[in-house]
Structure 1
Amino acid sequence: MTLPRFVPTIPAILRPIVTVTMGLLLGACSTVDYYAHVAKGQSELVMNRRDVSEVLRDPSTDAEIRKRLELAQQARRFATDRLDLPDNRSYTSYVKLDRSYVVWNVFATPRFSIAPIQHCFPFAGCVAYRGYFSKDKAKAESLRLEAQGDDVYVGGVPAYSTLGWFADPILSSMMRWDDDELAATIFHELAHQLIYVKDDSSFNESFASFVQEEGLRQWRQSRGLPAQNDREKTMDDGFTWLVMDLRDRLKTLYASGVDEPAMAKAKQQAIDDFRVRYVQWRDLDWPGDHRYDAWVNGPINNARLLPFGIYDRWTPVFLALFRHAEGQWPAFYASVREFARQPYTQRQRSLQQWLDSTGQPSIAPSP
């Protein structure tokens, strides 16, 4: 999946969850106000969490919440017992939020660039967003960046990982997901706790996405459920390719050296042409399915394109590694750690060699 999991009726690809890491919480390179804000937000989650066992015993707990939490605990046990993911207290507590999302991420790029404005933190390294526990603060930051002339996108996040620095809770913002999405997210975020490489989002997210997908396949099989229909993933992949094509066209435009008025006009024309290609693709391949229309018809800028492709780039490689490990999770994780230990340039070269050997195309995010 390219951008898992937000509003239930919106395709996974359009749900901009990006793992918020401990680096966000230890932002020494950030302003004091920002540090205070995120420290306060995280501390509130810690202070307000309740053990799931306590919530389940509480007679006032809503029946649907009870059902979702019971399922989450089954998935949590499966993650450790069957997927060899970390055995800790993450996702064994619950926090009821007073808002729809736990965090809002602010993405930004220069007006004529697809390169993100990076934010660098200890432990987590550099990431292409800044997270806020307050929607108002995220909006204020987006307005500040827009006033500087940057392209900006703000996306709500219903769940995130602190990479094991805290026992991450189940959040009320996760309760609106279906069974598969709830279980898969637990697998995804625990995978981040197991293996995480600074300054390599594509590696981290592709790895966690593979664990999520394979874990979900095994989870459904263990529950006697049929295999998932690949229709949605096929649509997600197709739409991602359309968006990535737009990003590549914009990248070429921005490198062309034309003056700013001409570039601004050509930028808008490229976006308009993308909308035309989308309608043609939708009507030819997916007639009657309009799930992406709202995204396509909404405001599009460089920043809104940033998250696409991060979750997919190397997933064929991790599938190949899993098969090479004969489906044994410990052996698979050992091979992933070998890649993780390599310097960035060597790791990219090794991953590309493996990808080429699979014969699968790469959904590669443009830098």
Structure 2
Amino acid sequence: MPIALPVFRLAPALLALLLSGCTSLDYYAQLGRGQLELLAARQPVSELLADPAGDAELKRRLALAQQARDFASAELGLPDNRSYRLYADLGRPYVVWNVFATPELSLAPLTHCFPVAGCVAYRGYYRQGRARGAAALLQQRGLDTHVAGIEAYSTLGWFADPLLNTMLRWGDERLAAVIFHELAHQRLYIADDTAFNESFASFVERQGLRQWRAARGLAPGDAREESMRRQFSELILASRERLQALYDGPGSEQHKRAGKAAEFERLRAEYRALRDGPWRGDARYDAWIMAPLNNAKLLPFGLYDRWVPAFAALFAEAGGDWVRFYRRAADLGALAPAERERRLTALQAAQ
């Protein structure tokens, strides 16, 4: 699941001036180095496509990505700039590794706040070893942690974001969808509201992919796959609600630890029932759910689709017109947080 890293809204040198403390400076120094390495690795896609000695499959994928990139601006009203018209091979499977953390008996994320971009529930690292080291230090403080590899992120238009080798691990449709998603972050981003930002981008991605498929004369997407993804997410969210009730309720820490362990076993059992029942043995989520579970691992769920139905309703209100839709979404983003949530809730109920 792609997660934007809004921290990159500011250039590394400016970030360093705005922060103090050795730990902060060291963290931002690695961000600056990583971003500069990524920028230095960029090559124009047009040159790669024109190279007669270039890899044929790479050229096919890059050509498809350029078609999706053109479609994004021409048909979806997304920014027309140099983003995703460049390519960078980083020689690794992920561009960054995000570290999530929560208290042992809470689902409240450890947040990190940055100038302009606001607060987010993770920290990103360009080296897996550094991410694991940061997670280990948090574990020593008694926190639950989760390290997630990320294939793509958006600098929100501060830099020309390239296509990455990490993105080419996906199928053709997923590659197009992620281009739509990340460009949507450039179109609209609201500081301190991750659920709004990710739900907005997820709606643009999904609606954009529907229009992309229709324009290419392809059949609608796989409804079964979409249903499975939704059911899995609902399973995790239901487990999270039960954990929240446990943590907020009475009882000793020992009682809550035992309840937490029992909840994770219940989650695995319910997943197996889905996998072996209506999913007919499809085990695509086995590796995730059979690995160690903790509060931090559940954090990303719900961020990407919490308000998607609300944005679908807003799109319908705009008559399917992207310009009007973006204007109305920006108006929502300009509201005070409580009023924004009230309005999104009302849209959701009407969908």
| TM band (smaller chain) | over 0.9
Whether the 8 Å contact between 1:145 and 1:152 is mirrored in structure 2 is yes
In the TM superposition, what is the alpha-carbon distance from 1:23 to its structure 2 partner? 4.9
Partner of 1:255: 248
| 1:48-59 equivalences in 2 (<5 Å) | 48-59=41-52
SS in structure 2 of the partner of residue 94 of structure 1: strand
1:20 correspondence with 2:13: no
Who is 1:295 aligned against? 288
Residue number in structure 2 paired with 1:127: 120
In the comparison of the two structures, how many residue pairs are matched?
A: 343
1:315 aligned onto 2:308: yes
For residue 224 of structure 1, the aligned residue among 200, 217, 238 is 217
Q: 2:190 aligns with which of 180, 188, 197?
A: 197
Are 1:346 and 2:339 an aligned pair? yes
Among candidates 81, 84, 89, match of residue 77 of structure 2: 84
Asked if the contact 2:313/2:350 (under 8 Å) is kept, the reply is no
Q: Is the 8 A contact 2:9 2:156 kept in 1?
A: no
TM-score, length-normalised on structure 2? 0.95
Partner SS state of residue 151, structure 1: strand
Q: In the aligned structure 2, how far is the partner of 1:94 from the partner of 1:256?
A: 51
Using the alignment, how far apart are the partners of 2:54 and 2:348 within structure 1?
48
| One-letter amino acid of the structure 2 residue matched with residue 262 of structure 1 | H
CA deviation after TM superposition for structure 1 residue 79, in Å: 0.6
Kindly provide the amino acid, as one letter, of the partner of residue 30 in structure 2: H
What code does the residue aligned with 2:172 have?
Answer: D
Asked whether 1:147 is paired with 2:132, we answer no
Letter in 2 for 1:133: Y
Q: Check whether the contact 1:23–1:121 (CA below 8 A) recurs between aligned residues.
A: no
TM-superposition CA deviations, 1:67-112 (whole Å, max 9, x none): 0100111111111111110011000101011211110000000111
| 1:285 match: secondary structure | coil
- Name the residue aligned to 2:322: 329
Tell me if 1:166 matches 2:150.
Answer: no
What does the per-residue CA deviation read over 1:115-156, in whole Å, with 9 as the maximum and x for residues that have no partner? 100011112110000000011100100111111111000010
The secondary structure found in structure 2 opposite 1:175 is helix
**Per chain length, whose mean CA-contact separation is higher, i.e. which structure has more relative contact order (CA < 8 Å, sep 6+)?**
1
RMSD of equivalent CA atoms: 1.3
Match of 1:244 among 234, 237, 256: 237
The residue that corresponds to 2:272 in the other structure is 279
In the TM superposition, residue 181 of structure 1 has moved relative to its aligned partner by 0.5
SS of 1:152 mapped into structure 2:
strand
Q: Which runs of 4+ in 1 moved over 6 A?
A: none
Identify the range of structure 1 (269-278 vs 283-292) with the bigger mean alpha-carbon deviation.
283-292
Return the alpha-carbon distance in structure 2 between the equivalents of residues 204 and 138 of structure 1: 24
Q: In structure 1, how many angstroms separate the alpha carbons of the residues matched to 2:303 and 2:293?
A: 18
**Which amino acid counterpart does residue 221 of structure 2 have in structure 1?**
Q
Alpha-carbon offset, residue 281 of structure 1 = 2.6
Structure 2 portions without partners, runs of 5+: none
Structure 1, unaligned runs of 5 or more: 5-16, 359-367
Whole-Å Cα distance in 2 between the matches of residues 273 and 171 of structure 1? 38
Give the letter for the 2:56 counterpart.
A
Distance 2:114 2:149 in 1: 21
Identity of aligned residues (%): 50
Q: What letter matches 1:152 in structure 2?
A: T
CA contact (8 A) 1:119 1:127 kept: yes
- In the alignment, the residues of structure 1 paired with residue 178 and residue 332 of structure 2 have an alpha-carbon distance, to the nearest angstrom, of 24
Distance 1:55 1:333 in 2: 34
Q: CA deviation at 1:283?
A: 2.6
1:14 paired residue number: none
